[in-house]
Structure 1
Amino acid sequence: MRRALTACVVVAAVAALLAPATATANPAVKPPSYGDVLDMRGVPETAHPGGKEEDDGNPVNVFADQGAWHAYALPDEKKKESWGGFSGPLYIAQEYPWWLSDAFSRLRLTEDGKPLDLAAGGKPEFTGLPGVLRQSYRLDGGLRLTLDLRYATDRTALVRARVTNTGHSARTLRAGWSGKLLRPAKKPMRDAPSLKATDTGVGVDFARVRETWDYLTDGTERFEVRHAEPVRTSVEKDSYRTDLERPLRVRPGGHASLDWTESYTFTRAERQREKARAARALHRPAEVTARGEERWDGYVRKATRGVPADRRRLAVKSVETLISNWRSAAGMLRHDGVTPSVSDKWFAGGFWAWDSWKQAVGTARFAPGLAKDQIRSMFDHQVRPGDKDRPQDAGMVPDAVFYNDAARDGGNWNERNSKPPLAAWAVWEVYRQTGDRAFLREMYPKLTAYQEWWYRNRDHDRDGLAEYGATIDPANKTPEDARLAAAWESGMDNAPRFDAALGTKALENTGPDGKKLGFSVNQESVDLNAYLAADQDHLAKIAAASGHGREAASWRTRAAKTHRAVRETMYDPKTGWFYDTSLGGERLTARGRGIEGAIALWTGTASRYQARQARKLLVSPDEFATKVPFPTVAKSSPYFAPTKYWRGPVWLDQAYYAAEGLRRYGYGRDARELMSRLIDATGVGSTKDPIRENYDPTTGKGLNAANFSWSAALLLPLL
Structure 2
Amino acid sequence: MLSDEELKKRVRDLLHRNMISGEHTGFNYHFTKPSQETYPFQYFWDTCFHVFTLVALSEVDMAKKHLRSLFAMQRHNGFVGHMHYWKRLWPGRSTDLLQLRPVDVLHLYKPHMSALVQPPLAAQAVLCVYKADKDIAFVKEMLPKLKRYYKWLSQNRDFEGEGLLSIISPFESGMDWKASYDPVLGYEGKGGPLLFWKVLQVDAFNFFKNYNLPEIYKSDRFIVKDVGFNTIYAQNLVALAELCGIAVDEEEHHFRKQASVTEKSIMQHMYDEQDAAFYDLYGHHYRKLKVRTGTIFFPVVLKSVPKEVCTQVLERHLLHQDGFHVSFPVPSLAKDEPAFNPDESIYIWRGPTWVVFNWFMQAHLLEKDYTEEAANLLQSIKQLISRSGFREYYNPFTGEGHGAEDFTWSGLVVDMINKQRGKENEARDKG
Assess same fold via TM > 0.5: yes
Deviation string 1:17-38 (CA, Å, 9 cap, x unpaired) is: xxxxxxxxxxxxxxxx9xxx8x
Residue 60 of structure 2, aligned match among 361, 365, 368: 368
Residue 170 of structure 2, aligned match among 470, 484, 487: 487
Corresponding position: 1:637 with 2:337: yes
Matches within 5 A, 1:111-260: none
Q: Could you tell me which residue of structure 1 aligns to residue 5 of structure 2?
A: 312
Indicate the SS of the match to 2:332.
coil
Q: Could you tell me which residue of structure 2 aligns to residue 662 of structure 1?
A: 365
Indicate the SS of the match to 1:715.
helix
Q: Could you tell me which residue of structure 2 aligns to residue 557 of structure 1?
A: 257
1:450 Cα offset (Å): 1.0
Q: Could you tell me which residue of structure 2 aligns to residue 400 of structure 1?
A: 83
Residue 223 of structure 2, aligned match among 502, 508, 522: 522
Higher strand share: 1
Q: Cα RMSD over matched residues?
A: 2.7
Q: Could you tell me which residue of structure 2 aligns to residue 718 of structure 1?
A: 416
Indicate the SS of the match to 1:336.
strand
Deviation string 1:609-636 (CA, Å, 9 cap, x unpaired) is: 1211121211234422411101111112
| TM-score, structure 1 normalization | 0.49
Deviation string 1:550-571 (CA, Å, 9 cap, x unpaired) is: 3212222221221121122211
Could you tell which deviates more after superposition, 645-654 or 451-460?
451-460
Q: Could you tell me which residue of structure 2 aligns to residue 532 of structure 1?
A: 233
Could you tell which deviates more after superposition, 358-367 or 325-334?
325-334
- What letter is aligned with 1:715? V
Q: Could you tell me which residue of structure 2 aligns to residue 650 of structure 1?
A: 353
- What letter is aligned with 2:133? T
Q: Could you tell me which residue of structure 2 aligns to residue 335 of structure 1?
A: 29
Corresponding position: 1:571 with 2:271: yes
Residue 415 of structure 1, aligned match among 104, 111, 114: 114
Corresponding position: 1:708 with 2:402: no
CA 1:412 to 1:595, structure 2 compared with 1: closer, same or farther past 3 Å?
A: farther
How many pairs align? Answer: 371
CA 1:467 to 1:709, structure 2 compared with 1: closer, same or farther past 3 Å?
A: same
Measured in 2, the distance between the counterparts of 1:628 and 1:395 equals 40
Residue 311 of structure 2, aligned match among 612, 624, 646: 612
1:451 Cα offset (Å): 0.7
- What letter is aligned with 1:595? G
CA 1:677 to 1:506, structure 2 compared with 1: closer, same or farther past 3 Å?
A: closer
CA 1:557 to 1:696, structure 2 compared with 1: closer, same or farther past 3 Å?
A: same
CA 1:427 to 1:489, structure 2 compared with 1: closer, same or farther past 3 Å?
A: same
Corresponding position: 1:452 with 2:143: no
Q: Could you tell me which residue of structure 1 aligns to residue 420 of structure 2?
A: none
Q: Could you tell me which residue of structure 2 aligns to residue 381 of structure 1?
A: 73
CA 1:706 to 1:605, structure 2 compared with 1: closer, same or farther past 3 Å?
A: farther
CA 1:709 to 1:410, structure 2 compared with 1: closer, same or farther past 3 Å?
A: farther
Percentage identity across paired residues of the two chains: 26
In the alignment, is the contact (CA less than 8 A) between 1:400 and 1:415 conserved in 2?
Answer: yes
Q: Could you tell me which residue of structure 2 aligns to residue 676 of structure 1?
A: 379
Q: Could you tell me which residue of structure 2 aligns to residue 496 of structure 1?
A: 179
CA 1:702 to 1:601, structure 2 compared with 1: closer, same or farther past 3 Å?
A: same
Measured in 1, the distance between the counterparts of 2:268 and 2:308 equals 12
1:446 Cα offset (Å): 0.8
Unaligned runs of 5+ in 2: 90-104, 189-198, 207-211, 418-431
Q: Could you tell me which residue of structure 1 aligns to residue 16 of structure 2?
A: 323
Indicate the SS of the match to 2:119.
coil
CA 1:427 to 1:321, structure 2 compared with 1: closer, same or farther past 3 Å?
A: same
In the alignment, is the contact (CA less than 8 A) between 2:158 and 2:165 conserved in 1?
Answer: yes
1:383 Cα offset (Å): 1.4
Q: Could you tell me which residue of structure 2 aligns to residue 428 of structure 1?
A: 127
Measured in 2, the distance between the counterparts of 1:518 and 1:691 equals 42
Which has the greater radius of gyration? 1
CA 1:465 to 1:671, structure 2 compared with 1: closer, same or farther past 3 Å?
A: same
In the alignment, is the contact (CA less than 8 A) between 1:404 and 1:410 conserved in 2?
Answer: no
| TM-score, structure 2 normalization | 0.79
1:710 Cα offset (Å): 2.1
Corresponding position: 1:351 with 2:42: yes
In the alignment, is the contact (CA less than 8 A) between 2:378 and 2:413 conserved in 1?
Answer: no
1:640 Cα offset (Å): 1.3
Indicate the SS of the match to 1:334.
strand
Corresponding position: 1:690 with 2:389: yes
Residue 327 of structure 2, aligned match among 622, 627, 651: 627
- What letter is aligned with 2:59? A
Measured in 1, the distance between the counterparts of 2:213 and 2:398 equals 47
Measured in 1, the distance between the counterparts of 2:202 and 2:160 equals 13
In the alignment, is the contact (CA less than 8 A) between 1:611 and 1:665 conserved in 2?
Answer: no
Measured in 2, the distance between the counterparts of 1:571 and 1:542 equals 29
CA 1:407 to 1:516, structure 2 compared with 1: closer, same or farther past 3 Å?
A: closer
1:327 Cα offset (Å): 0.8
Measured in 2, the distance between the counterparts of 1:463 and 1:426 equals 25
Unaligned runs of 5+ in 1: 1-32, 38-309, 385-393, 470-485, 510-514
Could you tell which deviates more after superposition, 667-676 or 330-339?
330-339
CA 1:588 to 1:610, structure 2 compared with 1: closer, same or farther past 3 Å?
A: same
Measured in 2, the distance between the counterparts of 1:602 and 1:657 equals 9
In the alignment, is the contact (CA less than 8 A) between 2:45 and 2:122 conserved in 1?
Answer: yes
Which structure has more RCO (C-alpha within 8 Å, separation ≥ 6)? 2
Higher helix share: 2
- What letter is aligned with 1:364? V
